[in-house]
Amino acid sequence: MGRVRATLPLALGVLAVAPAGASARVIEIGATTDRPAASCPSDPCETVTRTTGFQVTVAGKKKRGLFKAPRDGRVVAFTIRLGNPTRAQTDFFDGNFGGSAQGRLTILKPPPRGNVYKVTGQSEVFNLSRFFGRETQFPLLRSLTVRKGYLVALTTPTWLPALALGMDRGNAWRSSRLTNDCNVELPPQSAQQRLGGRRDYRCLYRESRLTYRATMVTIPRPNS
């Protein structure tokens, strides 16, 4: 009995000096205090079409890097808030942009300078038309490796009602479209869907916000 009493305080002392921050953390990348609704079924109904994009800022320069990973980790899920387009609006987008609403996450490695981003990871494609008018979280079939400073972007090979309009100019998101395609009515396919692929993100859209965020689990730090 004396031996047990002698070792218990020692064990407690060891636990007390364990380094802070050794455990993994769950982080919501892209989370904001306000969660604006996607604009559809407004008239006109504007959506994200055939592109990859990420939010640059939600409050001007002081809120840059919202979709950058703060540490190394794994992205395990994403949450998306979708508008609820009318039947006529849905038929228009289905007919002009390659089919029903789809989305996936894309991990982008940023360049040292400029706007050419490289794809380092992608989730499976989710069919999302059954979730219109809701905010829904989706777990990934396979989690995605993300390094500190990499971006978690939203890709749609077709279209998504995941765009909040009427925001102030402090809100801006960047798209993988080429400069000549930034404002055309039916932009061509520009979604990044090939691992290792690079693309110049030339188009910056202000006064709007992509309505998604991602859940990541950081890699725990070992004891010293």
Q: Which two tokens stand for residue 132?
A: 């219109």
Cα–Cα distance measured from residue 166 to residue 168, given in angstroms and rounded to the nearest whole number:
7
3-class SS letters over 96-125: HCCCCCEEEEEEEECCCCCCEEEEEEECCC
Beta strands in 18-109 (DSSP E): 26-29, 48-57, 73-81, 102-109
| Percentage of the chain exceeding pLDDT 90 | 66
Cα–Cα distance measured from residue 48 to residue 67, given in angstroms and rounded to the nearest whole number:
17
* Mean pLDDT, rounded, of the chain: 87
Cis peptide bond upstream of 111, omega within 30: no
Beta strands in the chain (DSSP E): 26-29, 48-57, 73-81, 102-109, 116-122, 126-127, 135-146, 151-160, 163-165, 172-175, 198-200, 203-206, 208-210, 212-218
Short-list 186, 120, 124, CA closest to 151:
120
Short-list 37, 197, 179, 219, CA closest to 205:
179
Cα–Cα distance measured from residue 200 to residue 115, given in angstroms and rounded to the nearest whole number:
5
Upper half-sphere CA count for residue 45 (Cβ side, 13 Å): 20
pLDDT grade for 7, boundaries at 50, 70 and 90? very low
Question: pLDDT value at position 10?
Answer: 37
Question: pLDDT value at position 21?
Answer: 52
Question: pLDDT value at position 33?
Answer: 81
pLDDT 10s digits, 114-159: 889 999 999 999 999 999 999 999 999 999 999 999 999 999 999 9
10 Å CB burial of residue 2 (0-12, 13-18, 19+) is exposed
pLDDT grade for 61, boundaries at 50, 70 and 90? low
Q: Is the pLDDT of residue 20 over 90?
A: no
Question: pLDDT value at position 164?
Answer: 93
